Amino acid sequence: MTAAFEQLREVAEHAWGSLTRGDTPVITVGTATCGRSAGALDTLDVLRGELAGREIECRFVEVGCLGPCYAEPLVTVSLPGAPTVCFASVNIRAARKIAAYVAGEDLPEELAFATIGPESVPGIPELMDTPVMKGQVRRVLRNCGIVDPGDIHHSLARGSYSGLQRALELDTEARIGELERSGLRGRGGAGFPVWRKWQFCIDAPGDTKYIVCNADEGDPGAFMNRSLLEGDPHAMLEGMIIAGLTIGASEGFIYCRAEYPLALERLAVAIGQAEDVGFLGPDALGPGRPFRIKVKEGAGAFVCGEETALIASIEGHRGMPRPRPPFPAVSGLWGRPTVINNVETLASVALIFQHGADWYAEYGTEKSKGTKTFALVGHVARPGLVEVPLGTTLRELIFDIGGGVSSGHRFKAVQTGGPSGGCLPEEKLDIPVDYESLQEAGTIMGSGGVVVMDERTCMVDFARFFLDFAADESCGKCGPCRLGTRQLLRILEDITQGAGTESDLELLEGLCHNVIEGSLCGLGQTAPNPVLTTLRYFRDEYVAHVESRTCPALACRDFIAFEIDDENCTGCAACAALCPVDGISGEKKQLHAINAAVCIKCGVCSDTCTFGAVATVDAHP
């Protein structure tokens, strides 16, 4: 480790120490996109205002997301000499109570979610002992929600860039060896061994090479990369510099979606700070060995997550894929050898060089090493961003960490891998989450989206949703994808609208295989997966739609109606007040009725009724 780095580390540790062991109260507020949408900026304003009003000097730090989105906004308070306490769901009223606590009043225990660190408070669990955190191993996400993403010193003090220092001392062979021993596979979806991809690029002839970070997190229902870039951008930058160093690149590009304005903002700040301290710039990789990173903003095209389409987009073209080979590692950006790695992959690279390959491979299965982040969403009690060792079962992920299905309904299916993945039923919940097991079950690991569905979700409609997405996002270059996804969508629309026939199921299956075999890139090759897996595991639902014209989940609007039963209705009018189309009428304390002519079948009335008086019924009994 160089003297300059040691010096920088000292400064960073001092800055971090003054925050964690100082004599001024420190308040952190999670202001990532998820926190903001739950009102974190209002919470922050109230805390600032209240404490300024009481003339109490505090340090406010805006941090990223700790993970439990359901408990946003999250606030932590560290008073000198007291344990750090994390508060959940801090609305404006709660913020006032917390301000009072900072001012010297008793700890509002009812708002406390957990304590953080070794000191505890009786009755309040430590963060890693809370049900949502217990099964997790937070490595990639270790700084998210803890450090200020706008201050490189925080990340430095917690170990960032020590991996880069180590990598600088090794030669190329040793670096690749380290990566190979770690067993790291690409976290973007396909799971290709990272060391091999890098080796291809090293072996490719040419002096100019590029490293590209794929931050075009296009899978709907996934936000792992967003969270990491908003909460700890240096985690990825360090890995990217190591990659540049190893493959011999002096320039790197981050391709990030325009839909993530805050991630782009924080990334720009982080790059600026890395330049200021010399991790990027003319001598980044040693005297006279430059490395620079540029950010390219995506413009809204899912297909640009595909490597060759992404390259076309950076070059200023329509984001259309081209046949491989040649693979980008041989001929990529402007025809030069290019490595493209996903955000989480690069963050994992940094960890491997910080702690060593053996440490990294401690967790995981034989073929899938390390930990993986997942966006756990849908009908789950505790949605959020989680990180678990590979090999954890879906059941542990959904029920132990996620708290099971929300709102008391029964579990029906889980979808992994986004539009390229598939839906698994309850009997598949005990399979371990690793690349091979998921593939065997018909789905894929993907980038980490895990969508939980309860019994109210129609699986035919769910497949239709993904095909709608795929047909919309197909770039149009090859026929099988452009025409095939559209035809699949039409058939699924027919089925969900009551115009399907029994022969449609066979047609669907055949067409799925044609699209898979004929398509040019991953988008078309995987777009039929949601259809094939739902046909495989939930075929009876398809059959019900085409044979008896019923939707077993009572979800497809053309098959259902809502009715109020006279025995249970108390005439409380709660449903009438919430009906978005004013379609429920009745006198107070009298039986209410639904006007079928205006009813949009949104189900708000049945969700609202506490007396169980609104029933969803089959429209064609």
Partner 1 sequence: MTTTNLDPVLSAFERRPESLIPLLQAVQENLGYLPPDAMGTVARHARVPRSRVFGVASFYSQFRFNPVGRQRVAVCRGTACHVGGAKFILEQLERTLGILEGETTGDMEYSLETVACIGCCGLAPCITVNDEVSAKLTPMKVRKQFKKARK
Question: Which two structure tokens, joined as six digits, stand for 414?
Answer: 């889980």
Bridge partners, 364 (sequence order): 369
Residue 383 binds partner 1, judged by CB under 8 A: yes
Least separation in angstroms between residue 38's CB and partner 1 is: 6
Instruction: Pick from 375, 491, 511, 551 the residue near partner 1 by CB under 8 A.
Output: 375
Using CB under 8 A as the binding rule, the residues of this chain from 465 to 504 that contact partner 1 are 465-466, 469, 475
> How many other C-beta atoms lie within 10 A of the C-beta of residue 498?
17
Single-letter amino acid, residue 528: P
Residue 72 binds partner 1, judged by CB under 8 A: yes
Least separation in angstroms between residue 120's CB and partner 1 is: 27
Residue 239 binds partner 1, judged by CB under 8 A: no
Listed in sequence order, the residues at least 6 apart from 391 whose beta carbon sits closer than 8 Å to its beta carbon are 363, 364, 365, 368, 432, 433, 434
Listed in sequence order, the residues at least 6 apart from 436 whose beta carbon sits closer than 8 Å to its beta carbon are 367, 368
Q: Do 365 and 391 form a contact (C-beta atoms < 8 A)?
A: yes
DSSP one-letter string for 79-129: -TTS-EEEE-S--HHHHHHHHHHHTT----GGGEEEEESS--BTTB-BGGG
Least separation in angstroms between residue 315's CB and partner 1 is: 5
Query: Which one, of 462, 410, 409, 458, lies nearest residue 560 by Cα?
Result: 458
Cα separations (Å) of 241 from 244, 389, 494?
Answer: 5, 25, 51
Residue 261 binds partner 1, judged by CB under 8 A: yes
Looking at 23-31, 254-262, 340-348, 428-436, which segment touches partner 1 (CB under 8 A)?
A: 254-262
Residue 319 binds partner 1, judged by CB under 8 A: yes
Q: Return the number of the residue (374 or 542) whose C-beta is nearest partner 1.
A: 374
Bridge partners, 112 (sequence order): 87
Instruction: Pick from 135, 604, 606, 618 the residue near partner 1 by CB under 8 A.
Output: 604
Looking at 9-17, 311-319, 337-345, 491-499, which segment touches partner 1 (CB under 8 A)?
A: 311-319
Using CB under 8 A as the binding rule, the residues of this chain from 523 to 582 that contact partner 1 are 578-581
Least separation in angstroms between residue 532's CB and partner 1 is: 17
Q: How many CA atoms lie within 13 A of 441 on its CB side?
A: 28
Residue 268 binds partner 1, judged by CB under 8 A: no
Using CB under 8 A as the binding rule, the residues of this chain from 211 to 230 that contact partner 1 are 217-223, 226-227
Q: How far apart are the C-alpha atoms of 616 and 104, rounded to whole Å?
A: 53
Looking at 244-252, 269-277, 341-349, 599-607, which segment touches partner 1 (CB under 8 A)?
A: 599-607
Q: How far apart are the C-alpha atoms of 16 and 18, rounded to whole Å?
A: 5
Q: Return the number of the residue (148 or 217) whose C-beta is nearest partner 1.
A: 217
Tally DSSP H helices, then E strands, for the chain.
25, 18
Q: How far apart are the C-alpha atoms of 343 and 215, rounded to whole Å?
A: 6
Residue 373 binds partner 1, judged by CB under 8 A: no
Using CB under 8 A as the binding rule, the residues of this chain from 23 to 62 that contact partner 1 are 33-34, 36-38
Residue 301 binds partner 1, judged by CB under 8 A: yes
- Number of residues in contact with partner 1 under rule CB under 8 A: 62
Q: Do 436 and 367 form a contact (C-beta atoms < 8 A)?
A: yes
Q: Return the number of the residue (69 or 398) whose C-beta is nearest partner 1.
A: 69
Q: Do 378 and 418 form a contact (C-beta atoms < 8 A)?
A: no
Question: Which two structure tokens, joined as six digits, stand for 226?
Answer: 């967003």
Question: Which two structure tokens, joined as six digits, stand for 55?
Answer: 């003339």
Q: Return the number of the residue (244 or 421) whose C-beta is nearest partner 1.
A: 421
Instruction: Pick from 77, 236, 377, 516 the residue near partner 1 by CB under 8 A.
Output: 377
Q: Do 447 and 217 form a contact (C-beta atoms < 8 A)?
A: yes
Token look-up 């925050």 returns 19
Residue 453 binds partner 1, judged by CB under 8 A: yes
Least separation in angstroms between residue 604's CB and partner 1 is: 6
Instruction: Pick from 299, 440, 585, 596 the residue near partner 1 by CB under 8 A.
Output: 299
What are the residues binding partner 1 (CB under 8 A)?
Answer: 33-34, 36-38, 69-70, 72, 217-223, 226-227, 258-261, 296-302, 313-320, 375, 377-379, 383-385, 415, 418, 449, 451, 453, 457, 462, 465-466, 469, 475, 578-581, 600, 602-604
